[in-house]
């Protein structure tokens, strides 16, 4: 089945220690998104890629970076995690020009100690 | 920025009851999406609506795209324990391309 896969599902890192979360997709969608979701809140968009074209949300901290080496894979790098970065990180994909449905992966739960 | 007002914020119902939740916006949307999120998982798309007035069902779920294009509702009939989760409405505002705005979510709890 076509899907969005996120690894790992759970990640524990220390305060200030860089961490990388990964996302892969078999849907062959050209748009990929990274969201941060804190407890019981709606997902908050961090950035997205149209193909290799990177688009950062204005309020995404510089501490968050992303890479998309090819259509299938996308990475979220947190350079110096703080306690406030503990959250669920969701990857999603969509096509470029509608329908505007986004398909989400299962998420990575990040804990910062 | 654009906001979607989703209500109720939470519901605690008895198994077998019907459930209704809705989303409203001050602006027009061309698409309404309804997602369900189980604890510790990513949101799963339940229903997508593309035309004003459209009524779409997915099993026990029914959703409608309001004729003003500023609202949508989701109904769940004969609720069961596995309906527990958070339901989000979402949609791209006009001229926002693919970018989704999310409602605040409705947390549904079902008592067996």
pLDDT of A1-21, one tens digit each? 779 999 999 999 999 999 999
The CA angle A69-A72-A75, to the nearest 5 degrees, is: 55
pLDDT in tens, B33-83: 999 999 999 999 999 999 999 999 999 999 999 999 999 999 999 999 999
B104 to chain A, minimum CA–CA distance in Å?
A: 6
Nearest CB to A100: which of B43, B98, B103?
B98
Asked if the C-beta of A31 comes within 8 angstroms of chain B's C-beta atoms, the answer is yes
Cross-chain residue pair B98–A45, CB shorter than 8 Å: no
What does the block give as tokens for B105?
Answer: 């979510």
What value does the mean pLDDT of chain B take?
94
- pLDDT band of B94, cuts 50, 70, 90: confident
Nearest CB to A31: which of B88, B98, B104?
B98
B89 to chain A, minimum CA–CA distance in Å?
A: 10
CB B21 within 8 A of CB B73: yes
Give me the residues of chain A with pLDDT under 50, please. Answer: none
SS3 assignment, position B81: helix
């Amino acid at each position: 089945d076509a899907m969005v896969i996120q690894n790992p599902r759970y990640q524990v890192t220390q305060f200030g220690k860089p961490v990388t979360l990964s996302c892969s997709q078999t849907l062959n969608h050209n748009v990929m998104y990274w969201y941060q979701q804190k407890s019981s809140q709606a997902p908050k968009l961090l950035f997205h890629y149209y193909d290799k074209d990177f688009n950062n949300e204005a309020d995404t901290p510089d501490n968050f970076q992303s890479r998309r080496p090819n259509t299938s894979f996308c990475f979220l790098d947190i350079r110096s995690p703080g306690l406030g970065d503990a959250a669920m990180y969701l990857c999603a994909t969509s096509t470029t020009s509608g329908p505007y449905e986004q398909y989400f992966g299962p998420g990575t739960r990040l804990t910062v100690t | 920025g654009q906001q979607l007002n989703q209500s109720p914020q939470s519901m605690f119902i008895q198994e077998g009851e019907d459930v209704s939740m809705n989303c409203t916006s001050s602006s027009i949307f061309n698409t309404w999406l309804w997602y369900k999120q189980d604890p510790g998982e990513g949101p799963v798309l339940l229903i997508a609506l593309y035309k004003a007035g459209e009524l779409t069902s997915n099993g026990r779920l029914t959703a409608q795209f309001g004729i003003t294009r500023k609202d949508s509702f989701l109904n769940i009939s004969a609720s069961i324990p596995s309906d527990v989760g958070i339901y989000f409405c979402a949609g791209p505002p006009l001229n926002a391309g693919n970018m989704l705005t999310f409602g605040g979510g409705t947390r549904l709890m079902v008592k067996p």
